[in-house]
Structure 1
Amino acid sequence: MLLTLLFLVAVFVCPWLYIKWGRVKSYWLQRGVPHYPPHPIMGSLTFLQRQNPAMWMRQLYKDFKAPYVGMWLFWRPALVINSPEIARRVLVKDADIFRNRYLSSGKTDPIGALNIFTVNDPLWSSIRRRLTSVFTAAKLRSLNGITVSKSKAFIDRIAVDSKKEDPIDLRKICTDYTTDVIGESAFGVTSNCLAEGDSIMRKVTREFMAFDLHRGLSWSSIFFFPDLVDVFRFSFFPKDTIQLLRKIFRTVIEQRGGYEKEVKDSRDLLDALLKIKQEAVKENEDISEDLLLAQAAVFLLGGFDTSGTTLCWVVYELAWNPQIQDRLYQEVLALKRKIGDRGFDSTVLSDVNYIDCVIKETLRFYPPMGWLDRIANKDYKIDDKLTIEAGTAVYVNGVSMHMDPQYFPEPEVFNPDRFLPENERDIIPYTFMPFGEGPRNCIGMRFAYQTLRQGLADLILNYEFKTLPNSPKPKEIGVEKKGMFLMPDEKMSVQFVRRDNEFVNKA
């Protein structure tokens, strides 16, 4: 009986699979779209866990030099966009058609599925509208005191660690700084990791940074084939860490008087979340604790490591480019002499154009997430040769346009002058997108710039960054293969040498 059943399966299923596979592998060929030959099972996803997706995107861009390239998510067709004009239409002009992301988590992972990064409409629009008030220029200025104090602690920590035998781990100390900033400015939780070496918020973010095989597979599924998330019960965040973050979240809510105490003005992210729930009650909407916690978790994840690692790359690049470092130092020193005893803050640092140039050039090399994914909600005409079907995922290949000599001459050269006001106006729109573009751009972009400016200004006023003997050049640093973002896969270190100016405490 068993042999008969197996025979029937072979007779009917195998021919169906053969025909289906024939249609799959010829999908882009029939439409005249360039592509790598698909793997019979993985499609185009054979790079996962072997190569960072951004590095795969860059290789694809070089190999085809085409405005778009076909790929497969297992057997599902998708399209990689390499053209700034098509990117503009997808991200902005026709954003209503590409309103949603393809990436998502599942019902088994509510915290991963409900945050503003992964959730789709109609819930996304409601959350985005209500959270926007947290990131106004006025609200960010009110956080200056926290950023200034944490930046001072950053300088003090380097003074202590520089006396130790082991070189400073740049990524670790930079993410200590950003964790402290976000812990207090977003959650109102005292975080003194820089001063004390650890904190409850740092325990959370340290787990967020860890990518073992299981976490890598979880993110691979969430980003490139979310249908598998519920099958294997994958999660966007480490589950044990979310339990700890939920405990912190509930404790702070209770300290502020609970969900019922009216919030008149949102001081930070937590106040904004409380206000969202209170407004929803008045409008007869059901806002769960999971939905609120999901926003808190993704803001922490999206802020501490991306900003911390960007600052890490900035310092490392400046160590290898001493002329650029000295130019930035002279501008920061001139500003400090101008303001005297007043500390740096977001208002005065806006006068140092070059600090933004350095940050932007670093983000051109190392955008935290190298691509922007969307999904078409109806058939869409890409150009006169191609119309994609509803449900097709598209990936805007920003990380590759950042390194195209057509848009950025000598792209391998670290040159912040590209972003000087007189030069930046010549950059072709939608070729530089480290924070995304359109309605779904990064909501925390201004907060990230404020944190980076403050930390970098204080660092370079107090320290010169020098390369260590036998340390790899920036372009020789590998990036994580199991994660999705452009994070270094090895320890990065520089020598911090005290500056000789009137503002540096020599004690």
Structure 2
Amino acid sequence: MYLLLLFTLVSVCVAWLYAKWMHMKSYWVNRGVPQGPVNPIFGSMRFLQQKNPGVWMRELYEQFKEFPYVGIWVFWRPGLVINSPELARQVLVKDADVFRNRLLRSGKRDPLGALNLLTVDDPLWSSIRRRLTSVFTASKLRGWHELYQSKVSDLVERIRTDKEKGVTVNLRSLFADYSTDIIGESSFGIQCQATKNSSGPLRAMTLEFEKYSTWRGMGWSSMFFVPEMVDIFGFSFWPQNTVDYFRKIFSMMVKERGGLDKEVDGKRDLLDALLKMRQDALKDNQDMDLDILVSNAMILLQGGYDTSSAALMYICYELAYHPEYQQRLYEELLKAKKSLGEKEFEAADLAELPFLNAVFNETLRKYPIMGWLDRVALKDYRVDEKLTIKAGTVVYVNAVGMHKDPQYFPEPEKFHPERFLPENVKNIVPYTFLPFGDGPRSCIGKRIGQNTVRYALAAVLLNYEVRSKPGEVEPNDMKFDRRQMFYAPAQDLSVEFIPRK
């Protein structure tokens, strides 16, 4: 009797899986959409924790680049990968109201991971974004000039002392120390010394952010691709020890400013803007839980320090292997510095240097920190005259695929900053270059990231020549971390810093 019952249950499960698999194999094909192999359990996601998602996205693009889109299965959820710049514009900008939300989210048991600009859905997302935008204006960032000058001086000195001690410099760690200080002091008013000695309360946190165990990798895979599993397995966006630690730091910072209820104008820094966001919400009879403030403070810390340090790492590494470009950039910086006389660079001065910006943009083309942009259709949506997708379908704009398409960027594996010089930018097809995303959900910290990279790069190259080291992996042979969602190298990267005479 029991054997018969067990056999019946197994048969039903096998039959259900088979029917599900057949449905998945035919779903996109019946709609005239190409799709690759499908697994009955994982859908198209068998690559997770075996290769970096950015690498997978690029391979998918190479396989189907003659098509404007390709159907995939995000486990048992249908998804559409966009390979077309015209459709990218539709999803990100023109019809952004249909694609306000992302699939990415954390669970109910992880409030700090679930309530920030990266993971939260509308309408809360719109409220938070609108209230925080004032922190990231150009006029606000001009007030950070002295901070940048102080920290890049520390950075130059740190490189000198490490060299004297014979320390092998891990580029990612070096620039993460610097970018943590920038975000910590500019956003929260905390005195940070990580650039000098890789220490401090916020650097202790960002060091934890950088640790990707197999378990954390599985957690992030769930949040990005199958968020229903987050609560089942108890995954969290950040390690619990960093959450507890930051709660204490945040409470101390608020207390030093007079508490949650002391009136602020929201113009001083990110912390002020968060406090004012809560006060304004309460005046409007809207709920604004303290976890929302802490969550957004944490995501802006992680997003700000991580992306800037990665960009600086990749730039220095490429320049070490392309001395001709490094020399050209050095000469541009030196000429601009001499024209200022005794003055130091300001953000506006650096923003006007064409080759500096070309190097920055070419690096982000070759190494987009986030290789894709996910959105979820809020209602049935007509993609083109051939295809209408159902509400709830997840759509991925394949940014890394377009960044590496020779149709848009000839010899895409070549580091070629001239593509982004003013006279050549007009040749770039709109929406084929998306390092900061586009539309309403584009990167809120774009200006901070640009300034953080420009100031550091100018200071480093005016004081040091960077050279490749024997035995280091060449840029085009670099492997990417299979456990992470971001486009991060699987190995430490290091260069030689040679003092300039």
Partner of 2:62: 62
Comparing 130-139 with 3-12, which one deviates more in the overlay?
3-12
Residues 103 and 226, structure 1, Cα contact 8 Å, conserved in 2 = yes
DSSP-derived class of the 1:465 partner: strand
CA distance in 1, matches of 2:272, 2:290: 14
Corresponding residue for 1:285? 286
- How far apart are the structure 2 equivalents of 1:300 and 1:412? 31
Q: Residue in 1 aligned with 2:37? A: 37
Question: What are the ranges of 5 or more consecutive residues in structure 1 without an aligned counterpart?
Answer: 501-507
CA distance in 2, matches of 1:53, 1:73: 12
- Aligned pairs for 1:302-321 within 5 A: 302-321=303-322
How far apart are the structure 1 equivalents of 2:143 and 2:426? 31
| 1:403 matched to 2:409 | no
Amino acid at match of 2:21: W
Q: Show CA shifts across 1:306-351 (max 9, x none).
A: 1101101000101111111011100100111111221122022123
Q: How does 1:198-347 map to 2 (within 5 A)?
A: 198-347=199-348
Q: Which secondary structure state, in structure 1, belongs to the residue aligned with residue 246 of structure 2? A: helix
Q: Contact conserved, 1:266 with 1:275, CA < 8 A, in 2?
A: no
Report the more deviating stretch, 413-422 or 362-371. Answer: 413-422
Match of 1:503 in 2: none
Q: Which residue of 2 aligns with 1:494?
A: 495
Letter in 2 for 1:60: L
Deviation track 1:231-276 (CA, whole Å, cap 9, x = no partner) reads 1111111111111111111100000000111102421110000000
Q: What does residue 414 of structure 2 align with?
A: 413
Residue type of the alignment partner of 2:144: L
Q: Is the 8 A contact 1:357 1:417 kept in 2?
A: yes
Please state how far the C-alpha of 1:469 moved relative to its aligned partner: 1.6
2:430 is equivalent to residue 447 of structure 1: no
CA distance 1:14–1:498, change in 2 (3 Å): closer
| Identity of matched residues, % | 53
SS at match of 2:375: strand
Alpha-carbon distance change, 164 to 275 in structure 1, aligned in 2, over 3 angstroms: same
Which AA in structure 1 matches 2:48?
A: L
| Structure 1 Cα separation of the partners of residues 469 and 4 of structure 2 | 70
Structure 2 unmatched ranges of 5 or more? none
Q: Is the Cα–Cα contact under 8 Å of residues 370 and 397 in structure 1 kept in the other structure?
A: yes
Alpha-carbon displacement from aligned partner over 1:58-115 (angstroms, at most 9, x marks no partner): 1111112221111111121111100000110011111111111111111011111100
Q: TM-score, normalised by structure 1?
A: 0.97
Q: Please list the CA deviations of residues 132-173 of structure 1 after superposition, one character each: whole Å capped at 9, or x if unmatched.
A: 000011111111111111111000000001123342111110
Q: Secondary structure at the match of 2:343?
A: coil
State the match for 2:77 in structure 1.
76
Distance, in Å, in 2 between the alignment partners of 1:18 and 1:472 is 45
Shift of 1:15: 2.9
How far does residue 12 in structure 1 lie from its aligned partner after superposition? 4.2
Match of 1:159 in 2: 160
Corresponding residue for residue 388 of structure 1: 389
**DSSP 3-state at the match of 1:45:** coil
Q: Is 2:97 the counterpart of 1:96?
A: yes
1:467 aligns with 2:439: no
Q: Which residue of 2 aligns with 1:505?
A: none
Whether 1:370 and 2:371 are equivalent positions in the alignment is: yes
CA RMSD of aligned residues (A): 1.2
Partner Cα distance (2:456, 2:151) in 1: 8
Equivalent residue, structure 2, for 1:176? 177
Report which stretch shifted further, 201-210 or 348-357: 348-357
Deviates more, 1:364-373 or 1:69-78: 69-78
**Counterparts of 1:494 and 1:264 in 2: how far apart (Å)?**
45
Equivalent residues of 1:376, 1:392 under 8 A apart? yes
User: Deviations along 1:161-208, whole A, 9 cap, x unmatched?
Assistant: 112334211111011110111111111111101223311111000000
- Size of the aligned set, in residue pairs, is 500
Give the direction of change, closer, same or farther, for the CA distance of 1:10–1:473 in structure 2 (3 Å limit): closer
- Cα distance in 2 for residues equivalent to 1:200 and 1:412: 39
Q: Does the residue aligned with 1:367 lie in a helix, a strand or coil?
A: coil
2:374 is paired with a residue whose SS is strand
**Alpha-carbon deviation of 1:10?**
3.7
- Distance, in Å, in 1 between the alignment partners of 2:351 and 2:290 is 38
Letter in 2 for 1:170: L
Instruction: Find the aligned partners of 2:315 and 2:11 in 1 and give their Cα distance.
Output: 61
What is the one-letter code of the residue matched to 2:465?
A: E
